[in-house]
Amino acid sequence: MKPLNSLNFSGGPGALPESVLRQAQQAILEVPEVGLSVLGISHRSDWFAAVLAETEANIRTLLGLTPDFHVLLLQGGATQQFSMVPMTLLRGKSQPAQYLHTGYWSGKALPEARLQGPIEVIWSGQPSGFTKLPTDAELTFSAEAPYLHYVSNETVEGLQFNRVLGRDDVPRICDMSSDFLSKPCEAQRFALIYAHAQKNIGPAGVTVVVVQDALLQHSPRDLPAFLDYRQQIQAHSNLNTPPVFAIYVTLLVTRWLLQDIGGLGAMHDINQQKAAQLYQALDHSDGFYQGRAAAPDRSLMNVAFTLKTPELERAFLAQSQQRGFSGLGGHRAIGGIRASIYNALSLEAVESLVAFMQEFQLQPRSA
Ligand X SMILES: *Cc1c(COP(=O)(O)O)cnc(C)c1O
CB of 78 to ligand X, least distance (A): 3
CB of 339 to ligand X, least distance (A): 15
> How far is it, in rounded angstroms, from Cα 147 to Cα 347?
38
Residue 175 interacting with ligand X (CB under 6 A): yes
Our CB check for ligand X shows the closer of 79 and 131 to be 79
Stretch that binds ligand X, among 44-52, 77-85, 328-336, 350-358 (CB under 6 A): 77-85
Kindly state the number of chain residues that form the binding site for ligand X, as judged by CB under 6 A. 12
In the set 13, 18, 28, 77, which binds ligand X (CB under 6 A)?
77
In the set 6, 19, 61, 79, which binds ligand X (CB under 6 A)?
79
183 is an active site residue: no
CB of 76 to ligand X, least distance (A): 7
Map the chain to HEC letters: CCCCCCCECCCCCCCCCHHHHHHHHHHHHCECCCCECHHHCCCCCHHHHHHHHHHHHHHHHHHCCCCCEEEEEECCHHHHHHHHHHHHHCCCCCCCEEEEECCHHHHHHHHHHHCCCCEEEEEECHHHCCCCCCCHHHCCCCCCCCCEEEECEECCCCEECCCCCCCCCCCEEEECCCCCCCCCCCHHHCCEEEEECCCCCCCCCCEEEEEEHHHHCCCCCCCCHHHCHHHHHHCCCCCCCCCHHHHHHHHHHHHHHHHHHCCHHHHHHHHHHHHHHHHHHHHCCCCCCEECCCHHHECCCEEEEECCCHHHHHHHHHHHHHCCCECCECCCCCCCEEEECCCCCCHHHHHHHHHHHHHHHHCCCCC
CB of 356 to ligand X, least distance (A): 25
Residue 320 interacting with ligand X (CB under 6 A): no
At 289, which amino acid appears? Y
Residue 196 interacting with ligand X (CB under 6 A): yes
Residue 184 interacting with ligand X (CB under 6 A): no
Q: Closest-CB residue for ligand X?
A: 77
Our CB check for ligand X shows the closer of 76 and 263 to be 76
CB of 79 to ligand X, least distance (A): 3
Site string for ligand X, 108-147 (x = CB under 6 A): ----------------------------------------
199 is an active site residue: yes
β-strand 337-340 against 159-160: which pairing, if any? unpaired
CB of 80 to ligand X, least distance (A): 7
Our CB check for ligand X shows the closer of 27 and 71 to be 71
In the set 8, 10, 83, 178, which binds ligand X (CB under 6 A)?
178
Our CB check for ligand X shows the closer of 134 and 202 to be 202
Sign of CA dihedral 149, 152, 157, 162: positive
In the set 7, 8, 9, 12, which binds ligand X (CB under 6 A)?
12
Residue 78 interacting with ligand X (CB under 6 A): yes
Polymer length of the chain: 367
* Catalytic-labelled residue, pool 183, 199, 256, 297: 199
Our CB check for ligand X shows the closer of 56 and 175 to be 175
Residue 101 interacting with ligand X (CB under 6 A): no
Q: Which residues contact 367 (CB under 8 A, 6 or more apart)?
A: none
256 is an active site residue: no
Which residues contact ligand X by CB under 6 A?
A: 12, 77-79, 105, 151, 155, 175, 177-178, 196, 199
Residues identified as active-site: 105, 175, 199
